[in-house]
Structure 1
Amino acid sequence: MGPPSLTILPAGPEDLDEILRIEEASFPEPWTRGLFLSEIGKSPPTLFVARKELGAPIVGYLCFWTLAEEIHLLNLAVPPFFRKQGVGRLLMHFLLDAARKQGISRVLLEVRPSNKAALTLYQSLGFKTLYTRPSYYPPHNEEAWVMEWQP
């Protein structure tokens, strides 16, 4: 079976509860409702949700900021049931396609070194580790690897 076909659209307030459930199932220190709410409705959009079809459950989301000629990936999550099905890869392709179309010079992200699935995905897409940020992730002060992709 090949990767799924997804519809990726800007998130709306009606998506918030579902996003929060995915966030809480994905991270030991999840983003708050207020953080997600602050991203909804921005122009241009910063928070996107993926569905297999309109009206279907959310199978993943990503949040990124465009700053001058850079994109910074802030958050990406896929609910446990939909992991290992290519959803994260399709979300990343959406992000990298947006970067190419906007003439972005680089995409940056932080990732836990213990998050092997994310590291494998990012490295397979051409991201390189630039440096580490010590004591970045609570609650156990895990370092972050800052990774970069250039078109």
Structure 2
Amino acid sequence: MAVDDLAAVVELERRCHVNPWSARLFEEELCRPHAFIDLLCMAGRIVGYACCWHVCDELHILNIAVDPACRRRGLGGMLLEYTVRRACQKGCERAFLEVRAGNHGAIHMYRTRGFETIGRRANYYADGEDAILMERKMRGD
């Protein structure tokens, strides 16, 4: 992602999340040396992204989204696998993420791609919903 993509990513974020990130949060991620935002484009427009951190030998998936009009086509899984492969190439051995406890579709996607539930964060989100903490060991990926 580049600064020129900011408006499109923020608009996508608003369509995807109950409590969307602001443009400022994305700008801050663009300035962090350990952060990266991968974009998924179709027909010349951004339809998904993954915002992650590489910290030591760990991948932390902070935010992943696919345009609601493009869901149920495997795009989120493709974006996730691309992100994990890239992290493995950079030496990451484990990946972590939090997902809303009620987001059953995302939880299923993560589980089918090797993530396991390792905990629960009570009242994690601003609206009081719990988060499920998941991990994937990536040696050999």
TM surpasses 0.5 = yes
Unaligned runs of 5+ in 2: none
Distance in 2 of aligned mates of 1:59 and 1:29: 18
Partner of 1:121: 109
Distance in 2 of aligned mates of 1:143 and 1:74: 16
Distance in 1 of aligned mates of 2:97 and 2:45: 26
Partner of 1:23: 13
Amino acid aligned to 1:106: R
Q: SS at the partner of 2:21?
A: coil
8 Å CA contact retained: 2:99, 2:132: yes
Q: SS at the partner of 2:133?
A: strand
Partner of 1:143: 130
Distance in 1 of aligned mates of 2:125 and 2:31: 27
8 Å CA contact retained: 1:59, 1:87: no
Moved over 6 A (4+): none
Amino acid aligned to 1:133: R
Change (3 A) 1:44 1:133: closer
Unaligned runs of 5+ in 1: 1-10
Amino acid aligned to 1:79: D
State TM-score, norm by structure 1: 0.86
How large is the Cα RMSD of the aligned pairs? 1.4
* Number of positions where the alignment pairs a residue of Structure 1 with one of Structure 2: 138
State TM-score, norm by structure 2: 0.92
Distance in 2 of aligned mates of 1:42 and 1:136: 24
